[in-house]
Structure 1
Amino acid sequence: MGENKRLSFPFDVEETEPEEKSEIKRLFNYPKIDLTRVGPKGYVMPRPYIEQAENIYNLSIRPSDVFVASFQRAGTTWTQELVWLVANDFDYETALSVPINHRYPFLEIYMLFTEWRNDCLKNVDIMKSKEQKEKLFKMLEVNSQPVTEKLEAMPSPRFIKTHLPMSFLPPTIVDTAKVIYVARDPRDIAVSCYHHARLLKILDFVGEFKDFWKLFVNDCFIRTPYFEHVKEAWNMRHHPNMLFLFYEELTKDLPAVVRRVANFLGKEVTPKQMARLCDHLSFENFKKNKSVNYEDLREVDAVTPNETFIRKGKVNGWRDYFDKDMAQQAKRWIEDNLRGTDLRFPHVIG
């Protein structure tokens, strides 16, 4: 977009309700989480997001750009690695040596790290070593600065990760760039988000899963409402520049998804390349791959020691967390939100 065509961010921002703020403060140990609601669907966003919302909305999109988009914890990292390797002619040397967050700038990551960065810098002297301080400064530089300026300076092709709903992204995105969106059963999303909120010290969730589920199903967690997020992408799925995937498809038939991605990107995959890629992306190998596990956060004590970024990768793992009442509530919630749509999650047990 040229300067003369700069658009105003089209959505209003509202404060979350006092009782929601109180519950969030009770359940999240990090005291500076301040959430707002954005737009008519009421997407829950950290306040720092608002500072850069218009810049993101006006990001100059290039035809060579590839976006991997999703609601968080939908299999995004797995999809990113698959897409990057297919698009980059299976360059495993780079994939294994360059962390995925350096290969894919995360469009709105700054909104989670802004306040945490300020606190870290105030308390940096308590850190034990010069090496750890240097790693901290490097991590903060990557994660707390707005990504739009960095993207403008990046050479093409650019690979970009986002968990923003499609309506928050530049209006020309699917007319210009390639977008791969991945969705997942919301019950498994909730379980994975719960562990992720416990993992990251910028959130530091201290409640039980039942507490988290209540926030999630009532659209009080970051980037909810979930179904509105997915529907926005689902409604674009027939656009030639949008590829809509389900996490459950990747787990059931990874080669079929690889072929779909390759076709979408105009690439060929030989049987030998397919075999190596599927081995590289196998859960056992993926979980051990330091390039995709955000080890830079662990090195600077930004994550809790008893949680991991790549966790279990199970389909229907939610059954280990939901009691009977929660399962019935979830079933009704899903039915209510899918009513009147043709959106269905494949290979999922109800």
Structure 2
Amino acid sequence: MAAKSNALVVNELDAETKEMLKKHFTGERGGFVRMGPKGYIVTERYKEMAEDIYDMEIRPSDVWVVTYARSGTTWTQELVWMVANDLDYKTSKSIILPERFPFLEHAMMLYPSMKEEILTEKNYDPKIRKLLELFSEPFAKPLASVPSPRFIKSHLPLSLLSPNILDAKVVYVARDPRDAAVSFYHMGSSLRTIGFRGDFKTYWSLFMRDLLYWTPFFEHVKEAWEKRNHPNLLFLFYEELQKDLKSVVLRVSEFFGKTYTEEQVLALCDHLTFSNFKANPAVNSDLLKDIGLVQPTHEFIRKGKTGGWRDYFDEEMMVQSDKWIADNLRNTDLRFPSMQ
């Protein structure tokens, strides 16, 4: 019981920090709190679903993709879904990824008041309305009636998920925090539910100070890194997907006990090649624009670059980030491929 109560402990932010974050995150209707002993930043609405998520019944047939935000999550979801579903291209192209592989805690960012606002803005067709409901309703309880195998995405750290999470298959992906922060900045500035207002330097400062969604970043990654040798957890780096996609496809296939021919592997790599992936309407989240959650000019799948952060960091930020990264990696053997 102690472990459970610790994971569900809520710590309020001080009034000054709350007001500062409210100014920067105009899409967040309820404000932010810290959850669990490591103080992960989540929204006020998350408190409504925290216990249901922690108490979820985990099935051995479940498949989870867990990442810090903007760490190659969507790319990995499609890869994992395809491998685990015997390369079912027909279904993958006809059913959008959020339906095949739902985002567990998305509702913590989409408050009922915002959903109702959106629904009054225009006459959405039933499919769009259904998606909006999917994105806005807490999902842990409805998952109990979803037939196996269930595919679930989360940005929560392992410690806020069920203590039995590794009874299921979990693929965890980590990315250089500087690249993840740049990508998250662009998404946060365009996503209505976040509505970040400020420049990247401000965003990076909040990131390093553990004041962005799902931070502290390094604690998030290190929790999974410590479990990397567990037979039910596959730890990947985003940089590995970018550098040698075929090798990662083979590792994921082995993880799920699947064997594919060279031709099948190459065809899947082509399906997942960045240009093809970005153009695939089943995964590129253009529906978020149709719903009104994302600005029309925003690209959910942006550039997929490694090292693109250098275009955003001035000399002061580089010095700060070097020290921040070194401090957080000092007592661990975790090393990002981009930093070696």
Q: Identify the TM-score tier after normalising by the shorter chain.
A: over 0.9
Q: Give the equivalent residue in structure 1 for 2:222.
A: 231
Query: Does the CA-based 8 Å contact 2:28-2:195 persist in structure 1?
Result: no
Q: Give the equivalent residue in structure 1 for 2:336.
A: 345
CA distance in 2: counterparts of 1:270 and 1:280, whole angstroms = 15
CA distance in 2: counterparts of 1:101 and 1:349, whole angstroms = 32
Question: RMSD of aligned C-alpha atoms?
Answer: 1.8
Residues 1:96 and 2:93 are matched in the alignment: yes
How is 1:1-350 mapped onto 2 (pairs within 5 angstroms)?
Answer: 10-30=7-27, 32-113=29-110, 115=111, 117-122=112-117, 124-127=119-122, 130=123, 132=124, 134-174=126-166, 176-346=167-337, 348-349=338-339
**Offset from partner CA, 1:165-190 (integer Å, 9 cap, x none):** 0001111111x111100000000011
TM-score (norm 1): 0.93
Q: Give the CA deviation at 1:293.
A: 1.4
**Offset from partner CA, 1:29-59 (integer Å, 9 cap, x none):** 3362410011221110001111111111111
Q: Give the CA deviation at 1:118.
A: 1.6
Closer/same/farther in 2, CA of residues 266 and 18 from structure 1, 3 Å limit = same
Structure 2 counterpart SS, 1:141:
helix
Q: Give the CA deviation at 1:16.
A: 1.2
Query: Does the CA-based 8 Å contact 1:12-1:38 persist in structure 2?
Result: yes
CA distance in 1: counterparts of 2:237 and 2:118, whole angstroms = 42
TM-score (norm 2): 0.96
Query: Does the CA-based 8 Å contact 2:107-2:136 persist in structure 1?
Result: yes
Letter in 1 for 2:40: Y
Q: Give the CA deviation at 1:226.
A: 0.1
Q: Give the CA deviation at 1:24.
A: 1.3
Moved more, 28-37 or 42-51: 28-37
CA distance in 1: counterparts of 2:288 and 2:137, whole angstroms = 16
Percent identical pairs in the alignment equals 51
Closer/same/farther in 2, CA of residues 312 and 47 from structure 1, 3 Å limit = same
**Offset from partner CA, 1:99-129 (integer Å, 9 cap, x none):** 101001211111111x2x32341464342xx
Q: Give the CA deviation at 1:306.
A: 2.2
- List gaps (5 residues or longer) in structure 1: 1-6
Q: Give the CA deviation at 1:279.
A: 0.6
Letter in 2 for 1:335: A
- List gaps (5 residues or longer) in structure 2: none
